[in-house]
């Protein structure tokens, strides 16, 4: 089929206009974006302020609140948290006193109605050998209150949470900057926008195929370029090809042969992960983009063991997989590719087009899954 016979949809993709990129948005965990979730608790009355320390000690023994450690136990107006409503009722129902009187059976029945909670708690605490004077003051007023279920992550959540009940908060400036999209200074923003523009330029020049670049941010050098090759094999998505090309730059790789059979004698950089055609195309418009992966070091074990543990792996050993690298993608990676990036130890991922099966913001946020042993940051550039 000649060029004039190409489908209209393909022509439209190839003719896509150059995007003007201006924004970089952090794709962060939902827990940083959602309003404060609330849970109901029973609160009692402190009574004599001089008894607060002893009262807290007794309640921690009899009525621990392990899931509410982010809250201050004593609140305003002389009130103190007794426990989550559901947890407290289950505790009173399930507590075993096989050697006690029928009083326990009455206690179990009483917890079925909020109107009798005061009586039930009074009995329970006295059975737990809490001093009568403390119990009488504590249970003189028992009401329901809403409190924050989880510890606030950001200041705006903290301000919301403390309006319900005093809570603990440890500000994190970096998390705040991620939420406010102020992580990068003007120089960094310009660089990231430039690199994404280069990826999109390659996409437009090569039949709208997905493109990506892996960059060593310490050196601002492109270590590898990847392009989607799903027509060759269904697993050869753009990120998978990029990761393999990074491996090629480190004398490995499962699919790709080195794009250059040998390096110039005067060169200290490995260009095996970058197709020379892509370099040529980018040099026409992006002459400021520098290519070349750092050569893999042969590390002496005795020296390695003496290196400070606070040094990053990229600085200690030279390149290993994608450790310490940033990756730029024209299209949002799918779940398979997002997990491959996790296993390759990528540092940061930037993407432009959200995709139907995207796993870094559309369908899910793989990089935010707690159970994974590596996490990377994700940003959308548009």
Q: What is the mean pLDDT of residues 42-56?
A: 93
Contacts of 60 (CB under 8 A, 6+ apart): none
**pLDDT single digits (tens) 214-246:** 999 999 999 999 999 999 999 999 999 999 999
Instruction: Indicate the DSSP class of residue 342.
Output: H
3-state secondary structure string, 98-145?
CCCCCHHHHHHHHCCCHHHHHHHHHHHHHHCCCCHHHHHHHCCCCEEE
Q: At what angle do helices 103-110 and 117-127 cross, to 10 degrees?
A: 140
How far is it, in rounded angstroms, from Cα 211 to Cα 209? Answer: 6
How far is it, in rounded angstroms, from Cα 362 to Cα 237? Answer: 17
Residue 217: which of 379, 339, 14 has the closest Cα? 379
| φ, ψ (nearest 5 deg) of residue 274 | -125, 125
Q: Whole-number mean pLDDT of the chain?
A: 86
Residue 284, SS3? helix
* In the predicted structure, residue 16 carries a pLDDT above the cut 80: no
Residue 254, SS3? coil
What pLDDT, on a 0 to 100 scale, did the predictor assign at position 316? Answer: 60
* In the predicted structure, residue 168 carries a pLDDT above the cut 80: yes
Q: H-helix or E-strand containing 92?
A: helix 85-94
Residue 319, SS3? coil
**pLDDT single digits (tens) 280-335:** 999 989 999 999 998 886 544 444 444 444 456 666 656 889 999 999 999 999 99
**pLDDT single digits (tens) 116-163:** 778 888 889 999 999 999 999 999 888 999 999 999 999 999 999 999
What pLDDT, on a 0 to 100 scale, did the predictor assign at position 324? Answer: 94
How far is it, in rounded angstroms, from Cα 76 to Cα 74? Answer: 7
* In the predicted structure, residue 368 carries a pLDDT above the cut 90: yes
Fold of the domain built from segment(s) 3-23+181-381? Cytidine Deaminase; domain 2 (3.40.140)
How far is it, in rounded angstroms, from Cα 361 to Cα 189? Answer: 21
How far is it, in rounded angstroms, from Cα 19 to Cα 352? Answer: 10
Two structure tokens written together for 199: 């990826």
Two structure tokens written together for 205: 């020049």
* Domain boundaries along the sequence of the chain: 3-23+181-381, 36-171
Q: What is the mean pLDDT of residues 257-282?
A: 75
Sheet with 79-84: strands ordered across: 79-84, 38-45, 143-148
How far is it, in rounded angstroms, from Cα 129 to Cα 140? Answer: 18
Beta-bridge partners for 45:
79
CA distances from 143 to 11, 42, 140, 156, 368 (A): 68, 6, 10, 27, 38
Band (pLDDT 50/70/90 cuts) for residue 256 is low
| φ, ψ (nearest 5 deg) of residue 4 | -70, -15
What pLDDT, on a 0 to 100 scale, did the predictor assign at position 111? Answer: 44
Q: Are 40 and 85 in contact (CB under 8 A)?
A: yes
In order, the DSSP letters of 153-220 are: -SHHHHHHHHTTS-B-----HHHHHHHHT--S-HHHHHHHHHHHHHHHHHHHHTTT--EEEEEETTTT
Q: Are 137 and 48 in contact (CB under 8 A)?
A: yes
Of 9-18, 38-47, 62-71, 285-294, which range is least confident? 9-18
pTM, 2 dp: 0.83
Percent of the chain with pLDDT over 70: 81
What pLDDT, on a 0 to 100 scale, did the predictor assign at position 140? Answer: 87
**pLDDT single digits (tens) 83-127:** 999 888 887 775 443 344 444 455 445 444 555 778 888 889 999
Q: How far is CA 3 from the centre of its chain?
A: 45
What pLDDT, on a 0 to 100 scale, did the predictor assign at position 99? Answer: 40
How far is it, in rounded angstroms, from Cα 58 to Cα 346? Answer: 49
Residue 304, SS3? helix
Q: H-helix or E-strand containing 8?
A: helix 8-14
């Amino acid at each position: 089929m000649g060029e004039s016979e190409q489908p209209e949809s393909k022509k439209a993709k190839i003719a896509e206009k150059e995007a003007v990129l201006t924004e970089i948005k952090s794709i962060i965990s939902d827990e940083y974006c959602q309003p404060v979730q609330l849970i109901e608790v029973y609160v009692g009355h402190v009574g004599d302020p001089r008894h607060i320390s002893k009262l807290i000690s007794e309640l921690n023994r009899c009525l621990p609140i392990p899931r509410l450690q982010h809250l201050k136990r004593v609140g305003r107006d002389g009130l103190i948290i007794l426990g989550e409503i559901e947890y407290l009722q289950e505790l009173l129902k399930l507590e075993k006193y096989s050697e006690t009187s029928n009083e326990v059976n009455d206690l179990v029945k009483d917890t079925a109605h909020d109107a009798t909670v005061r009586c039930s708690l009074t009995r329970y605490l006295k059975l737990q050998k809490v001093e009568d004077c403390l119990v009488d003051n504590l249970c003189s007023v028992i009401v329901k209150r809403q409190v924050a279920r989880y510890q606030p992550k950001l200041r705006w959540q903290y301000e919301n949470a403390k309006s319900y009940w005093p809570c603990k908060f440890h500000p994190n400036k970096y998390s705040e900057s991620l939420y406010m999209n102020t992580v990068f200074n003007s120089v960094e923003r310009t660089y990231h926008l430039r690199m994404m523009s280069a990826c999109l330029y390659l996409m437009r020049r090569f039949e709208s195929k997905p493109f990506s670049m892996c960059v060593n941010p310490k050196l601002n050098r492109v270590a590898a370029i990847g392009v989607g090759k799903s027509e060759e094999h269904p697993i050869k998505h753009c990120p998978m090809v990029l990761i393999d090309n990074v491996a090629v730059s480190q004398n490995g790789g499962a699919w790709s042969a080195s794009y250059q059979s040998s390096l110039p004698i005067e060169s200290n950089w490995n260009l095996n992960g970058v197709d020379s055609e892509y370099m040529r195309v980018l040099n026409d418009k992006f002459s400021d983009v520098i290519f070349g992966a750092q050569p893999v070091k042969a590390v002496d074990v005795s020296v390695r063991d003496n290196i400070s543990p606070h040094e990053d792996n990229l600085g200690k050993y030279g390149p290993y997989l994608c450790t310490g690298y940033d990756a730029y993608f024209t299209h949002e990676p799918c779940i398979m590719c997002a997990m491959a990036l996790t296993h390759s130890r990528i540092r940061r991922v930037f993407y432009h087009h959200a995709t139907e099966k995207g796993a870094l913001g559309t369908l899910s946020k793989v990089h935010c899954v707690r159970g994974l042993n590596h996490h990377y940051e994700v940003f959308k550039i548009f």
